[in-house]
Amino acid sequence: MTVTPSMRNSHAMTPSPEKIIGEHLQWMKAGAFATNTVEDVERILRFAHKKLPHGLPEAAPGELTAFLARDDWSPQTKATYRQHIRRFFLWACDEDDPWLSMDPSTRLRRPKINKGVPRPATNDQVHRAITEAQMPYLLHCRLAAYGGLRCIEVARLARVHVSPQEIRVYGKGNKPAMIPMHPLIWEIAQHLPDGPITRRPSGMPATDHWVSNATSYHLQRKLGIPITMHRLRAWFITMIQRTYKDATVTQRLARHESLTTTQGYVLVADEAVLDAVDGLPDLSGR
């Protein structure tokens, strides 16, 4: 693939792949993409650049196809990589400000993602997670199960954001939201010092990836509970809907922009399905 610095008067030399990837990330930051999104894109693009035979900017269509055709990746993972690679090349080949002369990603097929059945944690799994886990994972689990917090929201949470009445969270796009404080969360949070509510063992700031991976490792490897933070959040959303039976309330507490997204988290209990069918009126006249 040919890099076209001649089209950019500000470049006296052909920009390096690192320069091009870096400029793309700057473009995303200027466009107010969420910080965690930019970090994910950087990780994905640099991984692709490392694994592709001639790097990312010089990739051929067949090389991109082979890169995404890994047997150990789920359709969702492949779709995520494809999305970020497509965005990179669309930006790099913009005719008004081109960094590259050809887009090899135009024919990358979008992976088909089958909508799965929601898999919230069971009541027994939640009980064990919120009673047996050690700090800070105990707090992580309670925030997910009794506040519905995402990993990124846990990583961003500070002591100043919590009170006996509410939790002020900053989620996707750094949008603020207020969640009612549950006593099981306040039981721990009230004793925390000023600053972030959680940190890595090294003292470094927490990230969403660390909260997710470290908590899952603790639950699964240390306690033998086969769940994740995501499944604890799904339990919260399912229980809110099952108890209150108001989709708009559930959507608000889940902080979803779309009700369809909320429905993807809610597991309808088998007994509720049976009751619904049994409750149909008998119009047979028998």
pLDDT confidence of residue 280? 52
Q: How confident is the model at residue 8 (pLDDT cuts 50, 70, 90)?
A: very low
Number of other residues whose CB lies within 10 A of the CB of residue 241: 22
Three-state secondary structure call for residue 174: helix
Give yes or no for residue 194 having a pLDDT over 80: yes
Q: Which pLDDT belongs to residue 37?
A: 83
More confident: 113 or 211:
211
User: Does residue 270 carry a pLDDT above 60?
Assistant: no
Question: Looking at the whole model, is its pTM more than 0.85?
Answer: no
pLDDT tens, residue by residue, 131-184 = 999 999 999 999 999 999 999 999 999 999 999 999 999 876 667 888 899 999
Per-residue pLDDT at 90: 94
What mean pLDDT is predicted for residues 122-126?
A: 93
The confidence score (pLDDT) of residue 54 equals 93
Q: Which residue has the higher pLDDT, 129 or 252?
A: 129
Of residues 2 and 33, more confidence is placed in 33
How far apart CA 241 and CA 238 sit, in angstroms, is 5
Contacts 24+ apart (CB under 8 A), 207-215: 207/36, 207/39, 207/155, 208/36, 208/150, 208/151, 208/152, 208/154, 208/155, 209/151, 210/155, 211/140, 211/151, 211/152, 211/154, 211/155, 212/151, 214/137, 215/133, 215/137, 215/140, 215/141, 215/151
**CATH homologous superfamily of 123-269:** Intergrase catalytic core (1.10.443.10)
Q: Which one, of 137, 160, 144, lies nearest residue 206 by Cα?
A: 137
What are the structural domain ranges in the chain?
5-92, 123-269
* pLDDT tens track for 83-103: 999 999 999 999 888 899 899
Angle at 90 between CA 88 and CA 91, to 5 degrees: 65
In whole angstroms, give the CA distance from residue 140 to residue 206: 12
Evaluate if residue 2 carries a pLDDT over 60: no
